[in-house]
Amino acid sequence: MACDLVVVGLGYVGLPLARRACEAGLSTVGYDISEQVVSHLSDGRSHIDDLSDADITAMRAAGFRATTDPRVAGGADTVVVCVPTGLTPDGDPDLAALRAACRSVGAGLRPGTLVVVESTSHPGTTEELVRPLLERSSGLRVGDDFHLAYSPERIDPGNAAHGIRNTPRVVSGCTPLCTKYAVAFYGRLVDTVVVARGTREAEMAKLLENTYRYVNIALVDEVALYCDKVGIDVWDVLRCAGTKPFGFSAFSPGPGIGGHCIPVDPRYLEAKAESEGFSFRMLSAARGVVAQMPAHVVRRAAGLLREEGRSLNGARVLLLGVSYKPDVADVRETPATQVARGLRARGASVSYHDPYVPRFSADGVPLPREESLAEALASADLAVLLQDHACYEAGLPAQARCAVLDTRGSTEGERVSRL
């Protein structure tokens, strides 16, 4: 079945892209290896925060369909690969999903197709990994028979102000003609297209965006560690520094870094550099700082209980918000996992409250979920605010009878201590 676009990978990146394509009038098909994802979408159900069931229904009304059949890519004018690129258990870049997707796309690739990779990876991935896989699988040649480009995703889950359409899109192709086709495609979806000099520059730009955030978060984390040691209010320091109208960008400390991008992307850059004999010393230092934060939260929790004559061993500790960012259900790489692990290792009984996350486990062991925030606070010996969901703004943590450790600097109260 011929169509304008096939999106490979229907997760946090691919599904919003498919919706935007439907809005722009492109006939769109989604391909995913997960039968559950495809089944949910076929039933009109969304599995990501940024799209509602109504959004999926509207997409289906516009002709969208989802399938587990990779052969659909052979009927598309454009194929966009949006599969996850995470880390192995050892912390190394894991491109297995990207390799598999390229083989599937290449097997049915027809002349004239534009293939775009949006998955984040190290510089050189498009030319050194994707291109050979597609050419071997298809028997076609980039530039002569089909077009290949790279355009890094810029999805920010939960961001209502910036979506696909109004976020500038960086693109580059393997040849000038490949770039031309990619610009024409994204020009139908976004307001601004930025052309990179080459695919390596586009790949590097994506890694720089998130590495910039990673390093600066690590900096304020280390400032917070120092301020805690010497008795300085880091939150007031940040408030004061943030009044400077130039030369300062505000970042906040926290219990650790979560999500699919910021904890992962710098490792792709670091690993690639290492393979080429270059050492990103700043990244290594930043990783060392960030890695300390969950343990620092556990130490602070133990200190607050000690001030009340209690021990973590046997204490009832309530985690408030276990997703990696506010008001979403996404728990990928959430620091809540390490915090819960550290608390339980010291004998604490740990439960959690999060209106967005119905189930949460640490090391494969499910944590009890508290339904009522007020009741959970009433029975806890200590509450640790890990994520500042909007539901916590009402002040219940600040009114709690138990001690509260606020790792986000978002609440105040007589019994609240900030990270």
Q: What are phi and psi of 6, to 5 degrees?
A: -120, 125
- Do 106 and 137 form a contact (C-beta atoms < 8 A)? yes
Q: How far apart are CA 358 and CA 95, in angstroms?
A: 30
Active-site residue, 261 included: yes
Helix 96-107 vs helix 131-138: crossing angle, to nearest 10: 30
Pull the structure tokens for residue 22. 């439907």
Active-site hit among 22, 227, 261, 402: 261
Q: How far apart are CA 6 and CA 22, in angstroms?
A: 11
Collect all residues with Cβ–Cβ distance below 8 Å to 5 and sequence separation of at least 6. 18, 21, 26, 27, 28, 29, 76, 77, 78, 79, 80
CA dihedral 154, 155, 159, 162 (to 10 degrees): 50
Find where tokens 């999500």 sit: 259
Q: Where are the beta strands (DSSP E) in 199-332?
A: 316-320
Burial of 277 (0-12, 13-18, 19+ CB in 10 A): exposed
Q: What residues pair up with 416 in beta bridges, in sequence order?
A: 404
Residues taking part in catalysis? 261
